Structure 1
Amino acid sequence: MAINMGTSDETTVSERGGVTIPSEIREALSIEAGDKIRWTVEEGDVMVEVVHQREGVFDDFEPMSMGGDGGTAHNTSGEER
């Protein structure tokens, strides 16, 4: 399901601070149970980013930038090969 850039919806914050993500937005962004939402406030604006949870052996590790454009090979210590 594609979501229009202008799509918006309104939800209510619960007494405990919880917010329900509207189903249309959850489906369009493939948000599933266990995924995390990252909230960032910059100059009075709120940005929301979906952090999809990985499964398996590496699910506890965060990705790490190795520099370059992503096409450069690096060894395990991060040095360019």
Structure 2
Amino acid sequence: MATDENETTVNESFAVTIPKAVREHLDLEPGDRLRWHAEDDDGLVAEIVRERHGVASDLDPVDMGETDAVEATDGYDWS
């Protein structure tokens, strides 16, 4: 019985492997997540939730001035 090269089998722990051609086409990387949506009785949609490291690495730090690490702002006397 021939199977489609982009077809996978659900294993006993309900995990699946995303075929290499699909991973490459969608530029999936380790750490990316999939959000699953069921459509009717037999449809399934997976939305990619990107988890890219270094996304904000080109941002400059914000100077917060000199402040205490803990500052009471709710009127409670923390002393």
Q: Same fold (TM over 0.5)?
A: yes
| Residue in 1 that maps onto 2:47 | 49
- Structure 2 unmatched runs, 5+: 57-79
| Residue in 1 that maps onto 2:20 | 23
Q: Please report the TM-score for the alignment, with normalisation by the length of structure 1.
A: 0.54
Percent of aligned pairs with the same amino acid: 45
**Aligned pairs, number:** 51
Q: Please report the TM-score for the alignment, with normalisation by the length of structure 2.
A: 0.56
Q: Does 1:38 pair with 2:20?
A: no
| Structure 1 residues 57 and 16, CA gap change in structure 2 (3 angstroms) | same
Moved over 2 A (4+): 54-58
- Structure 1 unmatched runs, 5+: 1-7, 59-81
Q: What do you get for the CA RMSD once the two structures are aligned?
A: 2.0
